[in-house]
Amino acid sequence: MISLSGPRRSLWGGARRRKRMSQQPQRPVPKHVLSRRGAISFSSSSSLFGAPDPRQLSERRGAISYDSSDQTALYIRMLGACVIFKQLFSRDVRVRSRVGFEPERRGSHPYLPIDFRILHSQPEPAGPASARKIRRLLSFQRYLHSSRSCRGSAPQNPLHILDHDYTGQAKCMLERVGSWNFDIFLFDRLTNGNSLINLTFHLFNQYGLIELFQLDMVKLHRFLVMVQEDYHQQNPYHNAVHAADVTQAMYCYLREPKLSKSLTSCDILLGLLAAATHDLDHPGVNQPFLIKTNHYLAALYRNTSVLENHHWRSAVGLLRESGLFSHLPTEDGLNMERQLGSLILATDISRQNEYLLKFREHLDKEDLCLGNAGHRHFVLQMALKCADICNPCRPWELSKQWSEKVTQEFFHQGDVEKKHKLEVSPLCDSQTNSVGKIQIGFMTYVVEPLFAEWARFSDTRLTQTMLGYLGLNKAGWSGLLQEQAGAGEGTGTAAPAEDTNSKVLPQGSEES
Ligand SMILES: [Zn+2]
């Protein structure tokens, strides 16, 4: 049961009033930024621009406010977007990938000349620069067509004929979007690389969020396209497919009995939004890398939840740029942004113990009351954390692909570190690590403790299924490591980490 709140009324009446955005800027914002639809007027700037230091971000870890440094982050976000827009119209995507946030890279923060935007870049495909963007638009039109067809209305665009089969199959998959075995890789192929847009739009539609919050369909579409575009498709792991996967997992958790009967529409909207945007503009390297290379984001966020802060500020930038919530009362919009931040910041894996201890304490005391908005928010944080690291709880065929992708990203970082004579980060050295070793450590020290507590909170068929896969996948990797060790002893060389025996692992039992 979803409780409803009219979007015209205040959704969060008791919210603290925050500093307004209309204060006089210390650093003028370029006119071309301000003149754009959804542009933000910024109140201040950070030390990166020579202004007085904002208060230490580390002192307000987890707390959210719109002070000067927040505004700077948004400013950076908008400048990046500006470059992107210009290039979109000039049809020069090569410039986009090399410019990135270049305007912010000057100043007193020397750092390694690595362009994170091209860190995992592939050779550019032939053809017009805007071809992929056009494909995305067409694909969305096809999606709208398929929705109309379902409702029996006449199609308005004959383009759907071109890939009717794929659209039909993708639509079929969405009918089972609550299945834990949902194959997001297949869905991404069937939607022509638009899994995040299509999945999120479908879930918004299914929950009736568009009507409930009177969302403008064009703005929602534009927002989702921008979100998907802001993920780096070159990243082996932290890309839009991962975001779509986390959103699908989040949906599975939102449907769990304890949550579905207590969450409000606002909770659901925030949960889905946070899942879709939680790794926005991820550079494909981790926080220690940003710190040791003196990246401007590390300086901006005082080495604290650097990536998560950036994901959140990027999401806020896109919300404002698209004007998705511009019809809501200002205070509600700001509250939405703050809650979104609180959810995204919870995905910082270095703060895992903090959240786990709090969760354990609540479960020991049995005092979680989902009628309480604060408690519901905490449960959403835990659900998002689970969704973010649920790869080892998926069926082997899916889990294995994710394991290989994340390892590829780690090793790529390690290679860059070696190339620039930096200390190689833990798990990033391909000489001393393997997919299996990394996975077993990750499952043992990170995933199992979290899902053990989640099982105490929500002991359902889905949870048992996840724990079942977790155990089987761990056994699968252990078996492979032993096999490789045996083969290595026999031949005197290391065995390749391929050809896994999936027969010993679950083969797609249903959970929906
Ligand atoms: Zn993530």
Distance 279 CA to ligand 1 centre (A): 5
Distance 89 CA to ligand 1 centre (A): 31
pLDDT class of 275 with cuts at 50, 70, 90: very high
Question: pLDDT tens across 378-406, in order?
Answer: 999 999 999 999 999 999 999 999 999 99
d(CA 268, CA 266): 5
Question: pLDDT tens across 15-46, in order?
Answer: 333 333 333 333 333 343 333 323 222 222 22
Q: What angle do CA 194, 195, 197 make, to 5 degrees?
A: 70
Residue 120, pLDDT score? 61
φ/ψ region of 109 (left if φ > 0, alpha if ψ in -120 to 50, else beta) reads beta
Distance 18 CA to ligand 1 centre (A): 29
Average pLDDT over every residue of 219-232: 97
Residue 343, pLDDT score? 98
Distance 508 CA to ligand 1 centre (A): 24
Distance 108 CA to ligand 1 centre (A): 31
φ/ψ region of 112 (left if φ > 0, alpha if ψ in -120 to 50, else beta) reads beta
**Taking the CB of residue 127, how many other CB atoms lie within 10 A of it?**
8
Tokens of 232: 């780096």
Asked if residue 4 has pLDDT above 60, the reply is no
User: What value does the mean pLDDT of the chain take?
Assistant: 75
Q: Which residues are annotated as a binding site for AMP?
A: 238-242, 279, 388, 439
**HSE-CB of 433 using CA atoms within 13 angstroms:** 24
d(CA 200, CA 468): 28
Residue 101, pLDDT score? 33
Average pLDDT over every residue of 99-111: 33
User: What 3-state DSSP class applies to 3?
Assistant: strand
Residue 487, pLDDT score? 81
Q: Which of 94-103, 215-224, 385-394, 466-475 has the lowest mean pLDDT?
A: 94-103
Q: Write the DSSP symbol of residue 153.
A: P
Entry pTM: 0.70
Q: Which residues are annotated as a binding site for Zn(2+)?
A: 242, 278-279, 388
End-to-end CA distance of the chain: give it in Å, rounded: 18
Burial of 417 (0-12, 13-18, 19+ CB in 10 A): buried
> By percentage, how much of the chain surpasses pLDDT 70?
63
Q: Is 238 a catalytic site residue?
A: yes
Asked if residue 69 has pLDDT above 70, the reply is no
Q: Which residues are annotated as a binding site?
A: 238-242, 278-279, 388, 439
Distances from the Cα of 446 to the Cα of 308, 351, 426, angstroms: 18, 11, 15
Q: Which of 232, 201, 260 is nearest to 383 (CA)?
A: 260
Distance 200 CA to ligand 1 centre (A): 16
d(CA 466, CA 470): 6
Q: Which of 57-71, 232-246, 280-294 has the lowest mean pLDDT?
A: 57-71
Which of 90 and 126 is assigned the larger pLDDT? 126
Tokens of 199: 């999945």
Amino acid at site 296 = Y
Q: CB within 8 A of 70, min separation 6: which ones?
A: 313
Beta bridge partners of 264: 3
Question: pLDDT tens across 136-164, in order?
Answer: 444 444 444 444 444 444 333 333 444 56
Q: Which of 97-101, 205-209, 244-248, 433-437 has the lowest mean pLDDT?
A: 97-101
> By percentage, how much of the chain surpasses pLDDT 90?
61
Distance 10 CA to ligand 1 centre (A): 31
Residue 116, pLDDT score? 54
d(CA 450, CA 448): 5
d(CA 440, CA 433): 11
pLDDT class of 115 with cuts at 50, 70, 90: low
Distances from the Cα of 407 to the Cα of 118, 173, 265, angstroms: 18, 28, 37
What stretch(es) of the chain map to CATH 1.10.1300.10?
Answer: 168-491
Q: Greatest CA separation found in the chain?
A: 72
Q: Write the DSSP symbol of residue 298.
A: H
For residues 168 and 188, is the Cβ–Cβ distance under 8 A?
no
Asked if residue 96 has pLDDT above 90, the reply is no
pLDDT class of 166 with cuts at 50, 70, 90: confident
Asked if residue 87 has pLDDT above 60, the reply is no
Asked if residue 294 has pLDDT above 60, the reply is yes
At the second CATH level, the architecture of 168-491 is Orthogonal Bundle (1.10)
Active-site option among 238, 282, 295, 310: 238
Distance 6 CA to ligand 1 centre (A): 31
Distance 271 CA to ligand 1 centre (A): 14
